Structure 1
Amino acid sequence: MKALLLEDVRKISIQEYPEPPKKDDHIITKVNAVGICGSDLHYFSEGGIGSANVGSGFVPGHEFSAILMESIPEMNLEEGEHVAVDPAKPCFKCQWCKKGYENLCPYVEFIGAPPFNGAMAQYVSIKKHQIHKIPKHFSPETAVLLETLGVALHAVDLSKVKFHQEICILGSGPVGLCILKILKSMGAKAIYVIDPINYRVQHALKNGAEHVFKSVDDFVQYKNGGGVDLVFEATNSPEGLNLSIHASNIGGKIIVVGIPDGDNYQFKASEARRRGISIKFSRRMGEVYDRTISMVEKGLVALDDLATHTYALNDGDKAFINNLEYRDSVLKSIIFPNK
């Protein structure tokens, strides 16, 4: 089969790669579509995230949908059916899984996160519990973006948002926009979005943001020196946490969803302390896939508008560069490995 390999920092190759072996508790699926996530861009541009180094010859990709190559009668799934896939394989046995923190499982096997190869290939091996049946009218793009929506939904769950709160989202990439879509579906009205990239804040306006700003300084000036009770940090900036503190009210809460370039944040501790800011980090998602499917099926959230670009596997290098450098008004790029 063909696969996209990260050979070195900013170096990609498309090569013949061994097909995944058949295991008793896995099934082989044909990858239908796979998205480029912010973490994939960190692997591409930095060679890893923290201690998770990709090395040479790593296959990225964890946001994906697949075509079944065999039926699964107990799940009412037929051969050839299009399904969504949760990339996480937690152990379900450790103390953290038993407490409901499957997304924090130290023993998780996560497709597309080192050392586990991902779905930017023609075929991938998955466990049955990772498969989610989706309505037949779901597009490949929507099926891929269910994972992005799940990350956003987990962050919103952690926030325990209250109906009356004013909310600010830093970053209007796919995750930030999914957070916005979820909050709007819940009836939230006073949602502000900050992003220096013009085309991205225009997407935020189209998705219901009350006001958009190019900088936190502009936002704070608009608020007459104040801030909001709840901030979602959804950028890749090392300044993201510090800027979130600036945008927060006294007693405010920050949910950190983004991954900063260089794996480090810098912030002024005294400002956070004097304001009594609560900071909570969000990692991947809990068991929310069925909820994301339901939200889209009921029309509460639409996702196709986020998929702005599609590519064949052979054009993967171009796809990564365009995303990394924000070319051509890109939000989410989807690769089709079998086209």
Structure 2
Amino acid sequence: MIGSILGNLTHTHTRTEHTERERMSQSNGEGMDAGEKENMAVWLLGVKTLSIQPFNLPPLGPHDVKVRMKAVGICGSDVHHFKNMRCANFIVKKPMVIGHESAGVIEEVGSEVKSLVVGDHVALEPGISCRRCHLCKNGRYNLCPEVKFFGSPPTNGVLANQVVHPENLCFKLPDNVSLEEGAMCEPLSVGVHACRRANINPETKVLIMGAGPIGLVTMLAARAFGAPRIVIVDIDDRRLSFAKDLGADEIIQVSANIKDVADEVVKIRNAMGSSIDVSFDCVGFDKTMSTTLNATRGGGKVCLVGLGQSEMTVPLCPTAAREIDIIGIFRYRNTWPLCIEFLRTGKIDVKPLITHRFRFTQEDVEEAFETSAQGGNAIKVMFNL
């Protein structure tokens, strides 16, 4: 089945041997695999500077649970923080625990917790909103200006032995959904939220710009929502080959030169074989957004998912004249139950996306982030704690 997708393109990296360095670091408490003595976490201290150090947890509130982390993925925003100490307008100004794609096992529950018990496997939604502002009250809590989001400065993340989190943001996993799949609910939620915003259905023909992790989960979500034809575009032939094996109906390799947009739009339209109803820009550059705006049919939609540039120059006037709706997304809301259901029923299989695995040691942490930062064959890098 899809188990052979990776072939020579990617490989699963699992470190199985303890090096002398790891044994020495564990003897003094640095990089302990299980945090036998105290809770440990990966702290971002500076540009490309990570260190496993103690992490003190807040007291357990009546509606909180303590979770022992088991699976944590590396996101593109984590890589931006790692490389630049910032992601868009979110700037790391002091040491911060990194990570937000996560799943684990309940170890302790607050006095008022009713839906979870010790031993439950859960996936964690990382954003805690205020619940009081008009956006929260209207159900758009992902836009809350006071949201505290794991691993987004100044809020500490989840690449740790244990974390404390509200009960209502921890979602119990069915027996046939693994902890790694549970951690993948976070990136998958981006694709699900985008498809909801764009109203993807069995009559929607879809174009996706970008075959990175978010482009791929958006493709998987669009298929689960019923999209009958999906064309995916990228500059990297390896990523495109991966997307084809994962289920794309057609793949197209393009250049990074914005002067090529007109010719590439013709190629994309021909590959679709019919009008493009919805385009997802999962990259977010002048070139990719201009391509989607030109390729999408009149009266269609373009959903901006990726935020590669903070400002763009795109053909808005011709777009307005063709009545193309431009919509954006920011993270997600109310997606975890549907993501888990997609995984439980097999409508979506995220396992092939996990191409590299690492353990919770200082050496592995450094190698994992370098691997993710280099891109290439790495789609989703996952820690097994």
- TM-score using structure 1 length: 0.90
Match of 2:337 among 272, 290, 306: 290
Distance 1:321 1:266 in 2: 32
Shift in alpha-carbon separation, 1:259–1:75, aligned structure 2, 3 A: farther
Shift in alpha-carbon separation, 1:300–1:162, aligned structure 2, 3 A: closer
Distance 2:190 2:324 in 1: 23
Secondary structure of 1:228 counterpart: coil
Shift in alpha-carbon separation, 1:185–1:94, aligned structure 2, 3 A: same
1:280 aligns with 2:327: yes
Is the 1:311–1:319 Cα contact (8 Å) retained in structure 2?
Answer: yes
Distance 2:310 2:366 in 1: 24
Give the superposition deviation at 1:71.
Answer: 4.9
1:145 aligns with 2:188: no
Q: 2:267 is matched with which residue? A: 221
Matches within 5 A, 1:3-152: 3-9=41-47, 11-25=48-62, 26-71=64-109, 75-152=114-191
Matches within 5 A, 1:246-285: 246-260=294-308, 262-285=309-332
Distance 1:190 1:23 in 2: 48
Q: 2:383 is matched with which residue? A: 335
- Gapped runs of 5+ residues in structure 1? none
Moved more, 228-237 or 101-110: 228-237
Is the 1:61–1:119 Cα contact (8 Å) retained in structure 2?
Answer: yes
Secondary structure of 1:129 counterpart: helix
Distance 1:294 1:224 in 2: 35
Is the 2:200–2:225 Cα contact (8 Å) retained in structure 1?
Answer: no
Give the superposition deviation at 1:302.
Answer: 1.0
1:326 aligns with 2:364: no
Give the superposition deviation at 1:224.
Answer: 5.3
Distance 1:57 1:174 in 2: 27
Give the superposition deviation at 1:238.
Answer: 5.3
Q: CA deviation digits over 1:110-166, x for unaligned, max 9?
A: 112111010112221211111111112322220110111111111100001243332
1:233 aligns with 2:281: yes
Shift in alpha-carbon separation, 1:227–1:318, aligned structure 2, 3 A: farther
Moved more, 244-253 or 97-106: 244-253
Q: CA deviation digits over 1:311-333, x for unaligned, max 9?
A: 12322222222222213x11100
Count the aligned residue pairs. Answer: 334
Q: CA deviation digits over 1:83-124, x for unaligned, max 9?
A: 111111112221111111011111211112111010112221
Q: 1:306 is matched with which residue? A: 353
1:182 aligns with 2:221: yes
Give the superposition deviation at 1:254.
Answer: 0.9
Moved more, 122-131 or 44-53: 44-53
Task: From the CA coordinates, give the structure whose radius of gyration is larger.
Answer: 2
Is the 2:85–2:91 Cα contact (8 Å) retained in structure 1?
Answer: yes
Distance 1:75 1:176 in 2: 37
Secondary structure of 1:7 counterpart: strand
Give the superposition deviation at 1:202.
Answer: 1.8
Distance 2:184 2:175 in 1: 16
Q: Which amino acid aligns with 1:232?
A: F
CA RMSD of aligned residues (A): 2.3
Secondary structure of 2:297 counterpart: strand
Give the superposition deviation at 1:301.
Answer: 0.9
Secondary structure of 1:69 counterpart: strand
Q: Which amino acid aligns with 1:164?
A: E
Give the superposition deviation at 1:76.
Answer: 4.9
Is the 1:227–1:246 Cα contact (8 Å) retained in structure 2?
Answer: no
Give the superposition deviation at 1:74.
Answer: 5.1
Secondary structure of 1:67 counterpart: strand
The percentage of aligned residue pairs carrying the same residue is: 28
Is the 1:54–1:115 Cα contact (8 Å) retained in structure 2?
Answer: yes
Is the 1:32–1:65 Cα contact (8 Å) retained in structure 2?
Answer: yes
Secondary structure of 1:194 counterpart: strand
Q: Which amino acid aligns with 2:346?
A: G
Matches within 5 A, 1:171-210: 171-210=210-249
Q: Which runs of 4+ in 1 moved over 6 A?
A: none
Q: Which amino acid aligns with 2:77?
A: S
Is the 2:209–2:233 Cα contact (8 Å) retained in structure 1?
Answer: yes
Q: Which amino acid aligns with 1:156?
A: C
Q: CA deviation digits over 1:204-262, x for unaligned, max 9?
A: 212321110112644533525996221011125454322322332233311111121x5
